[in-house]
Structure 1
Amino acid sequence: MPAPRLLPTALAALSLFATMAAVAQETTSLERVSVVGSRKTMPAASSTDTLVPVDIYSMSKVTEGGGQFDLAQSLQYLSPSFNSTRQTGADGADLIDSAALRGLGSDQTLVLVNGKRRHTVALVNLFGARNRGSTGTDMNSLPLLAIDNVQVLRDGAAAQYGSDAIAGVINIQLKKKAGCEAVAGYGQYSAGDGKNYLASAYCGVKLGGGTLAVTGEWQDRGRSNRADPGDLRTIGDTAVKNKTVYLNGEFPVDVDNRVYLTAGAQDRDASSGAWARGGVGSDDIPSRNSAAMYPNGFVPFINGDVQDRYVIVGWKSSIAGWDTDLSQTYGSNKMRYDISNTLNASVANKDLLAGGQGISPTRFDAGGFGFSQATTNFDVSRYFPDLLGGSNIAFGAEYRREKYDIVAGEPGSYSDVDGVGVGGNAGSQGFPGFQPGDATNRSRNSRALYADWEVSLTPALTVDAAVRAERYSDFGSTTTAKLSGSYKLSKAFLLRGAASTGFRAPSLQQLYFSSTFTDFINQQPLDVVLAPNGSALTNAAGVPALKQEKSKNLTVGFTVKPSADTAITVDLYQINIKDRIVLSGRVDASDPNLGPILQGLGVGQAQFFVNSVDTRTRGLDLTASQRSKLGAGTLNTFLALNISRTNVSKVNVPASLKMDADVLLSERERLFIEQGGPRAKATLGFEYIQGAWTGEAKVIHFGSQTQGTFSGPPVPNLHYKPKTSMDLGLTWQVTKALKLSMGGNNVFNVKPTRQDPYETDNGFYYDAVQFGLNGASYFARAHYRF
Structure 2
Amino acid sequence: MRKSIFTCLLALAGFYATAQSLKVSGNVRDERGEPLVGASVLEKGTNNGTITDGSGAYMLSVGKSNAVLVATFVGYNVVERAVSANANLDFTMTDASILNQVTIVGSRNGNRSSTDTPSPVDVIDIREITTKQGQLDVNQLLQFAAPSFNSNRQTGSDGADHVDPASLRGLGPDQTLVLINGKRRHQSALVNLFGTRGRGNTGTDLNAIPAAAIERIEILRDGAAAQYGSDAIAGVINIVLKETVNQLSANVNAGIYKAKYRFDNKDFDGLNYNVNLNYGVKIAQKGFVNVTADYNFRDHTNRANTVSDPDELQRRQYGDPRINNAALYYNAKVPVGENIQFYSFGGINKRRGDAYAWTRFADDDRNVPSIYPNGFDPIIASTIDDRAVTAGVRGVWKSWNIDLSNTYGFNKFQFDVKNTINTSLGEGSRTEFDAGGFQLAQNVANLNITRHYKTILQGLNVAFGGEFRNERYKIFAGERGSYYNYDPSLAGGSQGFPGYSPSDVTDKTRSNAGAYLDVEADLTKKLLIDAAARFESYSDFGTTLNGKVGLRYKITNAIALRGSVSTGFRAPSLAQKYFNSTFTNFVNGEAVDVLLANNNSEVTRALGIPKLKQETSQNASIGLTMNPAPGLSVTIDGYYVKVKDRVVLTGQFSDEDEDIGELLKDLRVGQAQFFTNALSYTTTKGIDLIIAHSTPLGIGRLSTTLAANFNDMDLGPVNTVPRLRGKEDTYFDERERRFVLASAPPSKINLTFDYGVDKFSLMLRFIRFGEVKLANWDYELDIYKAKVQTDLTANYKFSKNISLSIGGSNILNVYPDKSLPSLTESGGGWDPVQMGTNGAFFFTRLGFRF
**1:242 aligns to 2:329 (yes or no):** no
Alpha-carbon distance in 1 for matches of 2:284, 2:480: 54
Residues in 2 aligned to 1:82 and 1:467: alpha-carbon distance in whole angstroms: 27
Aligned to 1:226: 303
Do the aligned partners of 1:612 and 1:654 also contact (CA within 8 Å) in 2?
A: no
Alpha-carbon contact 2:48-2:758 (below 8 Å) kept: no
Alignment correspondent of 2:83 = none
Separation in 2 of the partners of 1:699 and 1:527?
50
Return the offset for 1:602.
7.5
Identify the residue that residue 688 of structure 2 maps to in structure 1. 621
Q: Distance in 1 between matches of 2:236 and 2:38?
A: 14
Q: Is the aligned partner of 1:137 residue 2:204?
A: yes
Measured after TM superposition, the shift of residue 675 of structure 1 is 1.8
- SS of the residue 1:739 aligns to: strand
Who is 2:54 aligned against? Answer: none
Give yes or no for the alignment of 1:499 onto 2:576. no
Instruction: Compare 229-238 and 463-472 and name the one that shifted more.
Output: 229-238
1:364 to 433, 438, 441: 433
Deviation at 1:50, TM superposition (A): 2.9
1:204 is aligned to 2:280 = yes
User: Which structure: larger Rg?
Assistant: 2
The one-character-per-residue Cα deviations of 1:359-395 (angstroms, maximum 9, x if unpaired) are 3110000000000110000110000112222110010
* Structure 2 counterparts to residues 377-396 of structure 1, below 5 A: 377-396=446-465
Query: TM-score if structure 1 supplies the norm length?
Result: 0.92
- Contact 1:293–1:359 (CA<8 Å) still a contact in 2? no
1:652–1:43 Cα change, 3 Å: closer
Partner of 1:346: 424
Aligned mates of 1:204, 1:23 — CA distance in 2: 29
What is residue 258 of structure 2 aligned with on the other side? 190
Gap runs ≥5 in structure 2: 1-35, 41-45, 52-69, 77-95, 97-101, 260-267, 586-591
Structure 2 letter corresponding to 1:748: L
- Deviations 1:675-720 (Å, cap 9, x if unpaired)? 22211111100011011110000111100111112222xxx31111
Which portions of structure 1, spanning 4 or more consecutive aligned residues, are displaced by more than 6 angstroms?
A: 11-15, 19-26, 600-603
- For residues 335-366 of structure 1, what are the alpha-carbon distances to aligned partners after superposition, in whole Å with 9 as ceiling and x for unaligned? 00000000000111xxxxxxxxx231100000
User: 1:328, 1:376 within 8 Å by CA — same for their partners in 2?
Assistant: yes
Work out whether residues 177 and 232 of structure 2, in 8 Å CA contact, stay in contact via their aligned partners in 1.
Answer: yes
Q: Is 1:318 aligned to residue 396 of structure 2?
A: yes
Distance 1:154 1:23, change over 3 A: farther
**Once the 2 structures are TM-superposed, how far is the Cα of residue 94 of structure 1 from its aligned partner?**
0.3
The C-alpha deviation readout for 1:444-483, integer Å capped at 9, x for no partner, is: 0000010010011111111000000000000000000000
Alignment of 1:52-91 (within 5 A): 52-91=119-158
SS of 1:269's partner is strand
- Matching residue of 2:370: 292
Moved more, 577-586 or 296-305: 577-586
Q: How far 1:516 moved relative to its partner?
A: 3.5
Q: How many residues align?
A: 745
Alignment correspondent of 1:733 = 797
Secondary structure at the aligned position of 2:730 is classed as: helix
Distance in 1 (CA, whole Å) between partners of 2:188 and 2:673 is: 21
Runs of 5+ consecutive residues of structure 1 not aligned to the other structure = 1-10, 349-357, 520-525
The 1-side partners of 2:377 and 2:609 are apart by 37
Instruction: Please report how far the alpha carbon of residue 564 of structure 1 lies from its aligned counterpart in structure 2 after TM superposition.
Output: 3.9
User: Per-residue displacement from partner, 1:59-96 (whole Å, max 9, x unpaired)?
Assistant: 01233453101100000011110011110101110011
Distance 2:355 2:719 in 1: 37
What residue in structure 1 maps to residue 16 of structure 2?
none
Say whether residues 1:260 and 2:260 are aligned partners.
Answer: no
1:274 counterpart = 2:357: yes
Alignment of 1:465-504 (within 5 A): 465-504=531-570
Aligned pairs for 1:150-165 (under 5 A) are 150-165=217-232
1:398 pairs with 2:464: no
The one-letter code of the counterpart of 1:733 is: K
CA shift at 1:603, angstroms?
Answer: 6.5
Supply the distance in 1 between the matched residues of 2:361 and 2:773 (Cα, whole angstroms): 31
Supply the AA of the counterpart residue of 1:574.
Y
- Equivalence for 2:183: 116
Displacement after TM superposition at 1:757 (Å): 2.1
In the TM superposition, what is the alpha-carbon distance from 1:539 to its structure 2 partner?
Answer: 1.2
Matched with 2:524 is 458
Secondary structure, aligned partner of 2:188: coil
1:181 match:
249
Residues in 2 aligned to 1:22 and 1:767: alpha-carbon distance in whole angstroms: 44
Alignment deviations for residues 520-565 of structure 1 (CA, whole Å, 9 cap, x no partner) = xxxxxx9953110010111122110000000000001111112341
CA 1:346/1:21 → structure 2, altered by over 3 Å: closer, same or farther? farther
Report if aligned partners of 2:491, 2:584 keep a CA contact under 8 Å in 1: no
CA distance in 1, matches of 2:815, 2:425: 42
Q: 1:333 matched to which residue of 2? A: 411
Deviations 1:565-596 (A, max 9, x none): 10001111100011111111221121256535
Partner SS for 1:651? coil
Closer, same or farther: CA 13–252 of 1 in aligned 2, 3 Å: farther
Give the Cα separation in 1 of the matches to 2:629 and 2:113. Answer: 17
Identity of aligned residues (%): 45
SS of alignment partner, residue 159 of structure 2: helix
Structure 1 contact 365–409 (Cα < 8 Å) conserved = yes
Whether the 8 Å CA contact 1:13–1:54 is kept in 2: the answer is: no
**What secondary structure sits across from 1:506 in the alignment?**
coil
Q: Say whether residues 1:569 and 2:614 are aligned partners.
A: no
SS at structure 2 position matched to 1:650: coil
| Cα 1:118/1:711, change in 2 over 3 Å | same
Query: Which residue in 2 is equivalent to 1:374?
Result: 443
Give yes or no for contact 2:685–2:712 (8 Å, CA) kept in 1. Answer: yes
- RMSD between superposed Cα atoms in Å: 2.1
* 8 Å contact kept, 1:745–1:777: yes
Whether the 8 Å contact between 2:358 and 2:377 is mirrored in structure 1 is yes
How far 1:34 moved relative to its partner? 2.7
Contact 1:540 1:593 in 2 (8 A): no
Question: Could you tell me whether the CA contact under 8 Å between 2:47 and 2:758 is conserved in 1?
Answer: no
Q: What is the Cα deviation at residue 759 of structure 1?
A: 2.0
Which residue of structure 2 lines up, in the alignment, with residue 774 of structure 1? 838
Which of 806, 812, 819 is the matching residue for 1:742? Answer: 806
Residue type matched to 1:630 in 2?
A: L
Cα offset, 1:662, TM superposition: 2.0
Please give the alpha-carbon distance, in whole angstroms, between the structure 2 residues aligned to 1:244 and 1:36. 26
Match of 1:758 in 2: 822
Tell me if the contact between 2:441 and 2:472 (Cα under 8 Å) persists in the aligned partners. yes
Task: Provide the secondary structure at the position in 1 that maps to 2:130.
Answer: helix
Distance 1:601 1:234, change over 3 A: farther
Letter matched to residue 318 of structure 1: V
AA matched with 1:468: R
Note the C-alpha offset of 1:767.
2.6
Distance change >3 Å, CA 386–CA 664, structure 1 → 2: same
Aligned-residue offset at 1:770: 2.8
Residue 158 of structure 1: how far off its partner (Å): 0.2
Cα gap change, 1:30/1:383 in structure 2, threshold over 3 Å: closer, same or farther? closer
Which amino acid in the other structure matches residue 759 of structure 1? Answer: L
Equivalences for residues 495-534 of structure 1 within 5 A: 495-516=561-582, 529-534=595-600
1:560 counterpart SS class: strand
Instruction: Give the drift of 1:165.
Output: 0.3
Q: Which amino acid aligns with 1:92?
A: G
**Structure 1 position 555 matched with structure 2 position 636:** no
Of 61-70 and 448-457, more deviation after overlay is shown by: 61-70
Match of 1:448 in 2: 514
Q: Secondary structure at the match of 1:669?
A: helix
| Structure 2 CA distance for aligned equivalents of residues 778 and 530 of structure 1 | 42
1:715-767 CA-to-partner distances (Å, cap 9, x unmatched) read: x3111111110110000000110000010000011111111222211122223
Residue 691 (1) aligns with residue 758 (2) = yes
TM-score, normalised to structure 2, is: 0.85
